[in-house]
Amino acid sequence: MSNIVLQKDSPQILNIFAEDLAKNLKDNLNARRTRYRYKSKFNGNSYEAKSVKRYKSGSKRYRATGELARSISYNIRGFKITLEFNEYGVMLDRGTNGYKLKQIDESSELYNADIGYGSGSTMSKALNKWIKRRGLKLRLRSRFGVGKKLPNTKANRNKLEFLIKRSLMNRGIAPTMWFTNSYNALKDKLPDDLIFGMINNIDESIEYIFKR
């Protein structure tokens, strides 16, 4: 059996690939929304994780919003798949570099994506919104362990926002490969040599539109 997909079969191949890719990406993101609770103990110098418990948050306010999964869509015209999703998905897949730690993974399928990171004020608004949605609160530091939570006031949220932003700037964001792994897993199941009209392979068939 030939490993060449004839041009007349290309629309069907592209539709199946795009549909499966969109589904796998959403499933991948939804699986990542399962959170883990760590029980830690202060050993005199730092905290050590003693046990880890997998769980689903009981309250919706503490869950991820699922906005990235909902933003995923695709469209096929001719031999082109247009894949759309929120552009911060690029940073989640490939990671970002910090001043002190370099974390961008060049093997990411989105490594060369041309996106804008927005202004500092945009980042602050997004972080503040995320903090409120997740119900995060500052805690007092104590040498005996984690201290009590501070009131959820605007001033305390601003302090927490500053600490998170400083950490992101210094340490960057670790790559998750949520897109790359799903994409490569499906692509590897396709025949080695595809011909989509004037397009030679699946990589040339895909273009991206990143939503703000």
186-198 pLDDT per residue, tens? 988 887 667 676 6
DSSP class of residue 199 equals B
Q: Over the stretch 34-82, which tens digit does the pLDDT of each residue have?
A: 554 445 555 665 545 455 455 444 444 344 567 888 899 998 887 888 8
Residue 22's pLDDT is 92
What letter represents residue 14's amino acid? L
Residue 181's pLDDT is 92
* Stated length of the chain: 212
Tokens at 143, concatenated: 């040498």
More confident residue, 134 or 161: 161
The pTM score is 0.72
CB 29 within 8 A of CB 70: no
Domain residue extents for the chain: 4-117+174-211
More confident residue, 202 or 84: 84
First to last CA, the chain: 45
Angle at 169 between CA 165 and CA 172, to 5 degrees: 110
Residue 117's pLDDT is 61
Distance CA 110, CA 89 (A): 9
Residue 45's pLDDT is 58
Give the list of residues 6+ apart from residue 47 with CB closer than 8 angstroms, or none.
40, 41, 145, 146
Nearest to 180 by CA among 76, 71, 94, 66: 94
Residue 179 pLDDT more than 90?
yes
Tokens at 182, concatenated: 């799903």
Residue 60's pLDDT is 42
